[in-house]
Amino acid sequence: MGFEGLIEHVARGFELAGVAVLIVGLVWSAAVAVRLWRRAGGRRAYQAVREFFGGSLLLGLEVLVAADLIRTVAVNPTLESVAVLGLIVLIRTFLSFSLQIEIDGVPPWRRAMTSGATLMARGASRANSSADPSPSGSSSSSD
C-alpha cells in the first residue's frame, strides 16, 4: 500500500467517523427527548432534540469536511479537485452557519463561538438540570 492508498483509507475513516457521529447523535437525541418528554413535557423534549441533534450535525459536518480536505490535498491535488473541495466547504459552511442560527436563535456574531461538541454538552447539562426538578419546600421522597 502506497502513500495515496494510506491517505485514502484515512479519509474513509474520517468519513465513517462523521457518519457515526450523525447516527449516534440521532439515537442519543431521541433517547434524551423520550426521557425529557416523560419528565418535563413535549416543549422541553423538542428543544433538547434540536440542541442535541443540531450539535451532532455540526460536529458531523466538521469531520466530513476534514475527510474532504485530507482526500483532496493529499490524494488528488488538481485544480479541479481543489475547486470542488472549495464548493463543498462553502456549502457545508453555509449549512453549519444556518444550523447554528437555528439552534441558538441568534447569528454567530451576537454570541460566543461554540462548536458542535459544546452545544451537545450544554444540551446535556440542561437536560440533566430539568430532568430532576425538586419542588421547593417539599421534602417528600418517592419510591
Q: What is the mean pLDDT of residues 89-99?
A: 83
Residue 118: CB atoms within 10 Å: 14
Q: What does the pLDDT read at residue 12?
A: 92
The per-residue pLDDT for 19 is: 94
Instruction: Determine, yes or no, domain membership for 139.
Output: no
Judge whether 20 lies within some domain: yes
**Is 57 a member of any domain?**
yes
CA-CA distance, 3 to 11, in Å (whole number)? 12
Task: Provide the whole-model pTM.
Answer: 0.64
CA distances, 63 to each of 32, 66, 84, 102, 133 (Å): 23, 5, 17, 20, 36
In a domain, 138, yes or no: no
Number of separate domains in the chain: 1
Domain assignment present for residue 90? The answer is yes
Looking at the predicted structure, is the pLDDT value of residue 35 above 70? yes
The stretch 13-18 carries a mean pLDDT of 94
Q: Write b or e for each residue in 88-99: b if 16 or more Cβ atoms lie within 10 A of its Cβ, otherwise e.
A: eeeeeeeebeeb
Among the listed residues 92, 87, 26, the one whose alpha carbon sits nearest the alpha carbon of residue 63: 92
CA distance 33 to 125: 14
User: pLDDT tens for residues 99-134?
Assistant: 878 777 777 666 655 566 667 777 778 778 765 555
In the predicted model, is pLDDT for residue 137 greater than 60? Answer: no
Domain assignment present for residue 22? The answer is yes
Ranked by mean pLDDT, which of 15-19, 95-99, 127-131 comes out on top? Answer: 15-19
Q: Which pLDDT belongs to residue 141?
A: 44
Q: What's the confidence (pLDDT) of residue 130?
A: 65
The secondary structure of 78-140 as a DSSP string is: -HHHHHHHHHHHHHHHHHHHHHHHHHHSS-GGGS----HHHHHHHHHHHHHHHHS---TT---
In this structure, is residue 140 part of a structural domain?
no
16 pLDDT band, cuts 50/70/90, is very high
Q: How far is CA 30 from the centre of its chain?
A: 14
| Nearest alpha-carbon partner for 32 in 54, 20, 49 | 49
What is the span of the domain harbouring residue 106?
3-128
